[in-house]
A and B are shown apart, each in its own frame.
Chain A
Amino acid sequence: MPRVLIVDDSLFMRKILGDILSREGAQVVGEADNGQSAVDKFRELKPDVVTLDIVMPKTGEIGGGIAALREIMKLDPKARVIMVSAMGQHALVVEAIQAGARDFIVKPFQQARIAQALKKVLLSGG
């Protein structure tokens, strides 16, 4: 059962994504609502997969999703990170993929697309 860390500033989206991931057989081992907390939880929990919201308000030392992604990749260059974006954030998604994200999913979520992304990143090695 893959262990997943969900990072999103929206409580609602963390719940929706957590429900979908659980239905897909994943175990949600932690949640974070900002970039700094995401890095701290990643270090502590060592999840198999991280879902990381691209746009989050800046709190603490680390700003939004891409800054958190860069920190996570420094901690573990083989980290499996799926970026979460809303429509229209193509440029940020490209930047995230270049920074090491394995895949991305777009809000509003579709369960089949999340399952596909989860399968893809787990098969891509770690």
Chain B
Amino acid sequence: MKNISFLKLDLLRELGSIGAGHAATSLSELANTQVDMSVPEIRLYPSQRIMDRLKDEEYFVLRSRLEGGISGMGYLVLSLGEARPLAGLLLGADPASVDMDGDMAQSALKEAANILLSSYMSALGDLTGFTVLADVPAMDGPINKNDVEKHISDAPADDIVYVKSNLTIKRLGFDAALLFVPDQKSLRAIFAKLGLPE
């Protein structure tokens, strides 16, 4: 996938935009607040870094295996400083009082990831005609910011394509990364299905 064309990159950005748009709508309904999204970026790992501009904080990485017509991984990456106000909002509690190691806060974050990734994949499914299912999310963290990259990457023989979007809630200072990582076979299937074969 080293010679991915501009047209294919553009298509992936568009897929990311539609997927993240649906995810933002779902988060907005869940948290009952306005959620904005960034223009998606495509990162080819390991020749490019996946995450940059990480804050000097600990992070949570929520990951979900994607299965069905498109397989791969989906990730929600957010710092402790972003997770706390989100958990507070979802639980209807003062963020300062939320026990981030507690079962309820962790369950709320996992469910937020589940809903975001399922919404994202639903949009991709509608667009491509593939059925895509996001498995129950698992959660790592809090982890050091220097370890985030290795938590969201394997050791690929070839470049792996990461479609990265950011979801923001301005009033909370919330800015989480949502990553769609199709495997190579699925990537080829997506391009073929949408008229851009090898």
Contact = CB atoms under 8 A, between A and B. Distances in A.
Interface of A: 9-13, 15, 55-57, 86-92, 107-108, 110
Given A87-B122, A88-B122, A11 B133 contact: no
Contacts, number: 61
B133 A89 contact: yes
Contacts of A15: 104
Nearest to A57: B136
28 contacts: A9-B136, A10-B107, A11-B104, A12-B90, A12-B104, A15-B104, A55-B135, A55-B136, A86-B122, A87-B22, A87-B26, A87-B115, A87-B118, A87-B119, A87-B122, A88-B118, A88-B119, A88-B125, A88-B132, A88-B133, A89-B122, A90-B131, A92-B133, A107-B26, A107-B30, A107-B115, A107-B118, A108-B26
Nearest to B68: A91
A86 B26 CA distance: 10
Interface of B: 22, 26, 29-30, 90-91, 103-104, 107-108, 110-111, 114-115, 118-119, 121-123, 125, 131-136
A33 B21 CA distance: 30
Given A88-B121, A89-B118, A11 B107 contact: yes
Task: Please give me the 3 A-B residue pairs with the lowest Cβ-Cβ distance, nearest first.
Answer: A88-B122, A86-B118, A87-B122
Contacts of A13: 107, 111
